[in-house]
Structure 1
């Protein structure tokens, strides 16, 4: 039996094509396999280091809270202060800041400007994200040797109370920068393809090299270098999406290295100095307290009581939103946390009654700006630490300006909802109001206890924050019975991340402010501002415009840290009360922070509300107008800020 033979040509053609396809596919398969292996390795290393770091920061923060609370008990209950408690707390605090900053970089939670990303293609957005990571990695690489040198230099210094080498504290800097570098590199590998990674690293290296080659040209430029580095470089980095803290650090490093003979060691020292104010210890504690208030149901109880009082009137729940934000504001240290505690409770019922989601998100953003001065706001604590204004005076002066802006917002609500259908609203009975009040009393008492303790000088902001934490734990576990121990560790990690992001900005902004001061810019600015026609009124008007713009671009804390030390002495020289000036500056910054299209606070409100940003663009105009009117009233009437001092 014979088998028919196939044409040899056909066989050769088929096999040749298969070989060609295999040869072409082989490099791609190998490339994909290599990429998958790299991703798997990067994911594994990231998870391992990330989990270990999360355990470390959880232990650090818990130890910080217990140590400070023990100090409060020893001082006020047993009348035997622990003399070394503040020193150890300060030592642990620097570690918490640096490790928290590393976690924030790993999780992509450092504050950055992303408003312009909506106008670029997805491919360009990915490119900008990768460049931002590469730039962050570049700063870490540049500062790591200086941080290591700083730790070695501090080894010879002994702490006064515990007689320990200060290297135990200063080593936090190189460890933190090293971890930031590792996480930046791992995120680059995980988020981008090889070509994009190398093009982004090449772009950053090219820019750094170009500035280095241009170094001889900077020397004769004098103060024009300030514009080049602190305006052009900072603005370019911020709008490209580089985190604000890293943008400040890159500009400061470039200015000092290329135009002066200052060693990079000074930058690390100024960062350390910026986060070493003892009052800043309260930042992570208030952030954690805010999360406890949300977790234990205390915020929900406050909102329920206000709703029982006002829920039946036209626009009633919108008034409740304004009042609830006033009560809970400032305790968490994060406006996002404040809004997240209130919006989910109110918005479903408000929508059921016919409120438009665009108006709701617009009012939520406006109340974020309105309550910036309500103590114990982290912005108030920050402005006190960098300018020397009394924290107690700021806590006292911040209450009434928030009320004035609340009144202007309520006027807009009354006008817009004057024809609201109230058929779905039911007036709560006296019994229901009394019941919700009794339930809310422990929650409502906490903000007033905190504010009163600081204002009356009974305890510092740091001490009262620890008292508030243990109060919230007891009330949540015993009274509200909503305490979930399983959430404590994630809350500690979240607190460390948010606090690290906030405080790293303060550190790098402090180094930038020091550079501006050393250059003589502050003296020139003081002379120029004093010569404005109109004196203090012109200065106040210019300050309002400046901080509205700065608030929209840099957010509140960086703007305060950077320009507070420069502008507050001028305000004082012009006869403006510093508490009054603080309130005007903070409110102006808040308007910028929550005003679209650039204010990132507005987009946070949209994200929490799950509402498209486009929906709130038109309604927020009325609310922002009301805020500006209220701000003008506060600026023109100093008594509003100083009447109760």
Structure 2
């Protein structure tokens, strides 16, 4: 196993894509162990890991996001946020946070949200007098809301790996997402007062009313998704299909910005994104087979039990461990690799698996903005055309707020489990 993990670390350090790293490390294990029977089961394992019905929600929500972007829903959400909050000191920074909160209920992916919003908000904030570095940092931090407020791709992956309800995970993400939004808004208020951020003129009531009327169809999409799941009308996967249908109707018939000529591009972008995630899932499932053969979950569980029997101390160790993992590993990869290992340990400490899922997902999202490997940083740097070093300096206050919120949610599980308990 030592040779396998060494090859895993080496391939990761030289920049090999994580999905390929997982596959090659699994092959190295077979070669070193000489277990040819394991080699025969690998092709079957590759396919069995992606045959779960719950995973169908991922490409469907990706498709919904593509339809909404081209259908004018995204632009109207940003315009609505700017009309309501743009006149405050640091107004455009608030707009960035609030618009990302709305969009989180559509896209569910922090990297996709970072790329999309960086194209829109960084030039707009720079034009208003904000530095490009602060604009990119605010956008990247606000995009963290994507995997927390439902629908969330990370929640779906966690639910499949942990055997929990996707609907419960979606409900559990609502309040943490709102708390994180409030935390970022308070930080903007402090920085706005300290640095004398600019503000725009207050919009006339007529313009505010017009923006509100125009955004109602856009807000109906996430509202119907969440209400349908909470009321038990449809499952999370079915809600993804309904989201696609609603986004298509709104874009084609109501806003009339989605054209029939755009549909092939929408499907192509969705297929590319889905293929990336699917390959990673298949390879991670293969590597999971190796970990199972080596009884890694049982060994780690025994080790954790020898350190402490206090669940509060275990949660502290878990958060530190996940924050460190997030610095060097992609969020999706860490979810699919670590969840099968951590769930049995959490059960020993009698930790609710929905609560555990929210903790793990928030940690992985924080990791996406943490050097040296933080993918969110690289996306914001590339799309926003900002150098990485000054961007990292600007992102630290947002990371500090995120870690504070993480520990609040860790030790006050009621904040996570209250909404799911209302519909249990």
Shorter chain as denominator, the TM-score bin is over 0.9
Contact 2:175 2:415 survives alignment (8 Å): yes
1:591-643, Cα deviation, whole Å (9 max, x unpaired)? 11112332111111222222222331211111111111111111111011101
1:262-319, Cα deviation, whole Å (9 max, x unpaired)? 3423111111111110111111111111111110110110111111111000112211
The alignment partner of 1:397 has SS state of helix
- Look up the match of 1:511: 286
Structure 2's unaligned 5+ residue stretches are: none
The answer on 1:465 being equivalent to 2:235 is no
The answer on 1:395 being equivalent to 2:167 is no
Deviation at 1:477, TM superposition (A): 1.1
Instruction: Name the count of aligned residue pairs.
Output: 419
- Look up the match of 1:241: 15
Q: Distance in 2 between matches of 1:334 and 1:318?
A: 20
> Aligned ranges for residues 163-242 of structure 1 at < 5 Å?
225=1, 227-229=2-4, 231-242=5-16
Higher relative contact order (CA 8 A, sep 6+): 2
Deviation at 1:338, TM superposition (A): 1.7
Among 179, 193, 198, the alignment partner of 1:404 is 179
Distance 1:560 1:427, change over 3 A: same
The answer on 1:481 being equivalent to 2:259 is no
- Look up the match of 1:568: 343
Instruction: Tell me the TM-score normalised to structure 2 length.
Output: 0.94
Deviation at 1:530, TM superposition (A): 2.0
> Aligned ranges for residues 321-470 of structure 1 at < 5 Å?
321-329=96-104, 331-418=106-193, 425-470=200-245
Deviation at 1:498, TM superposition (A): 1.2
Contact 2:381 2:387 survives alignment (8 Å): yes
Deviation at 1:368, TM superposition (A): 2.5
Among 338, 342, 353, the alignment partner of 1:578 is 353
The answer on 1:623 being equivalent to 2:410 is no
Contact 1:238 1:244 survives alignment (8 Å): yes
The RMSD of aligned alpha carbons is: 1.7
Contact 1:301 1:439 survives alignment (8 Å): yes
Deviation at 1:248, TM superposition (A): 0.3
The answer on 1:491 being equivalent to 2:269 is no
Deviation at 1:330, TM superposition (A): 5.5
The alignment partner of 2:88 has SS state of coil
> Aligned ranges for residues 518-533 of structure 1 at < 5 Å?
518-533=293-308
Q: Distance in 2 between matches of 1:280 and 1:254?
A: 28
1:88-124, Cα deviation, whole Å (9 max, x unpaired)? xxxxxxxxxxxxxxxxxxxxxxxxxxxxxxxxxxxxx
Deviation at 1:422, TM superposition (A): 7.1
Contact 2:85 2:95 survives alignment (8 Å): yes
The alignment partner of 2:419 has SS state of coil
> Aligned ranges for residues 13-162 of structure 1 at < 5 Å?
none
Deviation at 1:335, TM superposition (A): 2.4
The alignment partner of 2:202 has SS state of coil
Q: Distance in 1 between matches of 2:230 and 2:304?
A: 33
Contact 1:506 1:561 survives alignment (8 Å): yes
1:478-520, Cα deviation, whole Å (9 max, x unpaired)? 1111012222212212211111111111111111112211222
Contact 2:93 2:188 survives alignment (8 Å): yes
Structure 1's unaligned 5+ residue stretches are: 1-224
The alignment partner of 2:120 has SS state of helix
Q: Distance in 2 between matches of 1:468 and 1:441?
A: 15
Q: Distance in 2 between matches of 1:315 and 1:633?
A: 26
Contact 1:312 1:422 survives alignment (8 Å): no
Distance 1:337 1:521, change over 3 A: closer
Q: Distance in 1 between matches of 2:6 and 2:87?
A: 53
1:39-96, Cα deviation, whole Å (9 max, x unpaired)? xxxxxxxxxxxxxxxxxxxxxxxxxxxxxxxxxxxxxxxxxxxxxxxxxxxxxxxxxx
- Look up the match of 2:24: 250
Distance 1:424 1:400, change over 3 A: closer
The alignment partner of 1:594 has SS state of coil
Runs of 4+ off more than 6 Å? none
Instruction: Tell me the TM-score normalised to structure 1 length.
Output: 0.63
Contact 1:532 1:538 survives alignment (8 Å): no
Among 298, 317, 326, the alignment partner of 1:551 is 326
